[in-house]
């Protein structure tokens, strides 16, 4: 439970820093309408956290494999401005994946690679 709280606190800090970085760059580029935190967990899952500034549009989360095929899709209502999802990667094949978070006309993406878990062989002589 403590690890979950620490992980969630870290993710919120990450989102807050994303908003701070966007505020500083406001004059040089268009400000983002939402922040995302996309990161792996120790147990091999992917956490996706979203914090929207407004409720103008629905949010869609897409998980695509390296061929561009959507293997997971979820649409979250526009009224839900702060939410998180945990994507279980246990049943997925090894390879490259991309998570897209889409809200309105804006897309934020993160790519990652899923590799096979290596098992160790032990030899004991009796």
| pLDDT on residue 73 | 95
What are the mean pLDDT values of the chain's consecutive 10-residue runs (126 residues total)? Answer: 53 53 50 85 90 89 94 92 91 91 91 81 74
Domain ranges in the chain? 34-114
* The predicted structure's pLDDT at residue 98: 94
**Bridge pairing between strands 70-76 and 59-65:** antiparallel
Instruction: Order across the sheet with 82-88: list the strands.
Output: 34-40, 45-52, 82-88
User: What is the CATH T-level fold of the domain 34-114, as seen in this structure?
Assistant: Immunoglobulin-like (2.60.40)
For residues 11 and 39, the answer to whether their CB atoms sit within 8 Å is yes
Cβ burial, residue 121 (10 Å; 0-12/13-18/19+):
exposed
Give me the pLDDT at residue 27, please.
45
């Amino acid at each position: 439970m403590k690890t979950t709280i620490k992980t969630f606190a870290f993710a919120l800090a990450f989102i807050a820093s994303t908003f701070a970085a966007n505020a500083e760059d406001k004059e040089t580029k268009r400000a983002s309408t939402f922040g995302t935190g996309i990161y792996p967990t120790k147990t091999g899952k992917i956490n996706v956290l979203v914090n929207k500034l407004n409720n103008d549009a629905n949010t869609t989360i897409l998980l695509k494999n390296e061929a561009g095929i959507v293997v997971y899709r979820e649409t979250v209502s526009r009224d839900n401005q702060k939410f998180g999802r945990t994507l279980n990667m246990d049943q997925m094949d090894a390879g490259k994946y991309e998570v897209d978070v889409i809200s309105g006309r804006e897309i934020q993406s993160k790519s990652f690679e899923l590799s096979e878990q290596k098992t160790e062989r032990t030899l004991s002589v009796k």
